[in-house]
Structure 1
């Protein structure tokens, strides 16, 4: 995994909507965002800062069509906030995209996805440490 880009001033604003809660079931709850504008980044996984109620959190964002879950071809945007466990449905989040982690991919086994998400979180934490 390599951080391929640094995104200067790339922000996304969205309202958290209730999803299928599949991430929660595998230990990676996500905030499913209904964005308030057009998203101009490619599908993939990103390291992001999440701004919520005047606080800044570290997170991972997936942009894509969730191929492991066969959700169709529509683009989704979901954010996993690291070290965070609050109910934030209907809240507005501001997402600052900091770096690209990897392309979106399909996993044949759910455990493969879980392992990849754990590796993504570990990698992102290292990258955020270097951004300080």
Structure 2
């Protein structure tokens, strides 16, 4: 899989931050032909690559008001990316987007996804 999506980081609902997974959010074209779901990814910042847990879609658990977003949680990164242009390389598809019954269920699944993504990125 080779796909790179570039965009300007926008403000979101800051839900990822409250769940312990702050994200860089990009508004993406709904017609972009890539499946909604969770991906292992990479983001390069100032020459350093960061592994990323990436979600593309409409966030069925906490809807985005019809906006299709790419949300990238950069592993081992902290800082402010608002207004910066970043490129997100999608490395591997993990699972389709899904709706969870609660934010606790969502947080647990993100933890599982993160563990799997770290393993994937170690081999790529």
Which TM-score bucket, shorter chain as reference? Answer: over 0.9
Distance in 2, Cα, partners of 1:39 & 1:13: 12
Q: How far did residue 28 of structure 1 move?
A: 0.6
Paired residues for 1:45-124 under 5 Å: 45-124=38-117
**TM-score normalised by L of structure 2:** 0.92
Q: How far did residue 54 of structure 1 move?
A: 1.7
Instruction: Confirm or deny: 8 A CA contact 2:28 2:69 kept in the other structure.
Output: no
2:4 equivalent in structure 1: 11
Q: How far did residue 35 of structure 1 move?
A: 4.5
Distance in 2, Cα, partners of 1:73 & 1:21: 17
Gap regions ≥5 residues in structure 2:
none
1:27 equivalent in structure 2: 20
**TM-score normalised by L of structure 1:** 0.87
Distance in 2, Cα, partners of 1:70 & 1:91: 24
